[in-house]
Amino acid sequence: MSNKLRILMLGDLVGKTGRDMFARHIPTLRANYSLDAVIINGENCADGKGITPHIVKFLQNNGVDIITSGNHIYDKKEILPYLDEYDTVLRPANYPDECPGKGMTFFMCKGFQVGVMNLMGRLYMPSHPNCPFLKALDLVEEAKKITPIMLVDFHAETTAEKIALATLLDGKVTAVVGTHTHVQTADAQILPKGTAFMSDLGMSGSLNSMIGAKKEQIIHRFLTQMPVRHEVATDAPYVLSGAIITLDGPSGKALSIDTVYLIDNEPL
Ligand SMILES: [Fe+2]
Ligand SMILES: [Fe+2]
């Protein structure tokens, strides 16, 4: 058996549109790319805000291994007890210790322990957790005792903060990929010391939207400064975006990072 692992990481799935896109395409992606595991960011899975245990089950039934998150993790109350009871859904590790859930976990994949870490940025974010850089260094030390394979989802707004964290962790983890902006960046690369990096994986949802929400509502907000309800956009075309990280199991080194950006015009 090959020592190579191929892991798909997807950016924020937005609402039922994102979930349906995922369910529609994941069997083909798994087969075509010989995927060994799937990690998604699920912070917007439930009508654009948060995630519920019911949705976690749906995603698991469709082949998700681990779900990362971000600033919307606590939007649905039903998820709070779930976060402490199970390891499937992560919250940003640099939230205060008192917060429900945890920010790092491990799962078995082809005989290897795979580590997943979730962190959140502090620049231009709606909340300002503890330092993601110092937290990352602490957790990397902890994780090293268990496995050399570590995939980091850094949920942050700015490319600079993401590049900075990836540079700090270069050579220490397998991959640092970003989420939160819902717009995929064209900078997938292997950094000088061997860590795979991409500023933002993008999202899964309606492409005819603003970050997955109905455009008119957000334009209304810009025009009036009035608060508006964000509804999930349901119109085609749809997008499913992320990256496939291929890694060497024994060393945890990234071998490649390949962008996934799939457009679908067929109504869901
Ligand atoms: Fe998001
Ligand atoms: Fe976010």
Structure confidence by residue, pLDDT tens digits, 60-83? 999 999 999 999 999 999 999 999
The Å distance, Cα 250 to ligand 1 centre, comes to 33
Tell me, what's the pLDDT at 97?
Answer: 96
CA 105/CA 185 separation, integer angstroms: 26
The Å distance, Cα 180 to ligand 1 centre, comes to 4
CA 228/CA 206 separation, integer angstroms: 19
Tell me, what's the pLDDT at 122?
Answer: 97
The Å distance, Cα 171 to ligand 1 centre, comes to 28
The total number of residues shown for the chain amounts to: 268
Question: What percentage of residues in the chain have a pLDDT greater than 70?
Answer: 100
Domains of the chain: 4-264 (3.60.21.10)
Whether residue 175 contacts residue 152, with contact meaning beta carbons closer than 8 Å, is answered with: yes
Name residues whose C-beta falls within 8 Å of residue 93's C-beta, 6 or more positions apart in sequence.
Answer: 102, 103, 104, 117, 118, 119, 135, 136, 139
Is the pLDDT confidence value at 153 over 80? yes
Tell me, what's the pLDDT at 112?
Answer: 98
The Å distance, Cα 224 to ligand 1 centre, comes to 23
What pairs with residue 177 in β-bridges?
153, 198
- Catalytic residue, chosen from 72, 155, 180, 182, is 72
Confidence category of residue 242, pLDDT binned at 50, 70, 90: very high
Q: Answer whether 0.85 is exceeded by the pTM.
A: yes
Q: Confirm whether 128 is a catalytic residue.
A: no
